[in-house]
Structure 1
Amino acid sequence: MDNGIISLTYDGRVALSFRLAVPQSPDKVWKVITQREFLEAWFPADVEFDLTPGADLLFKVTPEQIKRYGLPADHATRGTVISVRPNHIFEYLWDAETLHWELVPDGTGGCWLTLTHTMEEEESAYAHAAGWHAGLEVVAAQLDGREVDWSPWDRADELAPQYQKSA
């Protein structure tokens, strides 16, 4: 998988984008990025997505975040579903940040999966990059039917040096 790309948006915000070619159909990928049974292995929060535009979302900390970072067990942030086009677009706010997932058929039965995470601060993009990269590696493994016998948290720590801002 290629590294994420960090760029400025038209309104001065910062976008972190990943694009992944997957041999599976958009409907199969859709399940992995929206259904709790798959999300638990890689998504950086405990959330159950309501795939209804305007729906409120609650992002709770995971047991791993409590253990690794000392976050309080009752810590949570909120979000709102912006757009849902099943098997194509899923976009939502997570606190003040926007996550946009897009699936585009590639003409061979597979698709391109693109994640764009838009936020205010460039430093935040660098901080999130390794975690999303590691999570998307788990997504690819899930789609391929491979066992995930590694920790995406440990993998993010390994990837972090690739995402440090140059001086």
Structure 2
Amino acid sequence: MDIGSVSRTYDGRVALRFQCGFPYSPDEVWTVLTDPERLRYWFPACVVELAPGTPLEFGSSDDQDGRPGVPAGHATTGSVLVVRRGHVLEYLWDSEILHWEITPDGSGGCWLTLTHTTDDEDDALAHGAGWHAGFEVIEAQLEGRPIDWSPRDRVAELAEHYRRPSA
């Protein structure tokens, strides 16, 4: 997978964007983004109700080795902003926005795009390794492969690729 890209939004915020093509239907990819049993391996929130305004708590505990990008014991809040089943899922995470979009590719597969919008480039880059590792878990789940590695360890391996180059 290519490393995510960073750009500025119209209002000066920073958008970290990942896009990956999958040879699976949009419905199959949607399930990986919304099924609590699958989310527990890679995402720091369990979404129980997919409805705008639903409150969320993002965090992980010491016994959850998955959920890359969030330190064990750390918790923050947010809410569901947009739900268009099979197409768009958007959350507010503190002041950050996570926008997931699934686009059919015309051959039965689809593109999954995540845009993580935050206020600071260093913050965006700090999330890069976690999202990269999360996409690797998504790929394994879609392929039916077991998650027999530590997503948290994978984040540590990838972290160097998401650091701002020294001047």
Superposition TM-score, scaled by structure 2 size: 0.91
What does residue 148 of structure 1 align with? Answer: 147
Secondary structure at the residue paired with 1:154?
A: helix
Q: Does the CA contact (< 8 Å) of 2:61 and 2:72 recur in 1?
A: no
Q: Distance in 2 between matches of 1:82 and 1:134?
A: 24
Q: Distance in 2 between matches of 1:17 and 1:154?
A: 22
Post-superposition Cα deviations, 1:58-102, rounded to whole Å, max 9, x if no partner, equal: 223232579xx9x674x4311111110000000010111000000
What does residue 2 of structure 2 align with? Answer: 2
Q: CA deviation at 1:54?
A: 1.5
Post-superposition Cα deviations, 1:1-27, rounded to whole Å, max 9, x if no partner, equal: 111001111100000000000000010
List runs of 5+ in structure 2 lacking aligned partners.
none
Q: Does the CA contact (< 8 Å) of 2:54 and 2:79 recur in 1?
A: yes
Runs of 4+ in 1 over 3 A off after TM superposition: none
Superposition TM-score, scaled by structure 1 size: 0.91
What does residue 160 of structure 2 align with? Answer: 161
Count of aligned positions = 162
Q: Quote the RMSD (CA, aligned, Å).
A: 1.8
What does residue 17 of structure 2 align with? Answer: 17
With over 3 angstroms needed to count, the CA separation of the structure-2 counterparts of 1:119 and 1:64, relative to structure 1, is farther
1:1-167 correspondence to structure 2 within 5 Å: 1-43=1-43, 45-63=44-62, 73=73, 75-167=74-166
Post-superposition Cα deviations, 1:114-146, rounded to whole Å, max 9, x if no partner, equal: 000000011101110001100110100100111
List runs of 5+ in structure 1 lacking aligned partners.
none
Q: Does the CA contact (< 8 Å) of 1:13 and 1:118 recur in 2?
A: yes
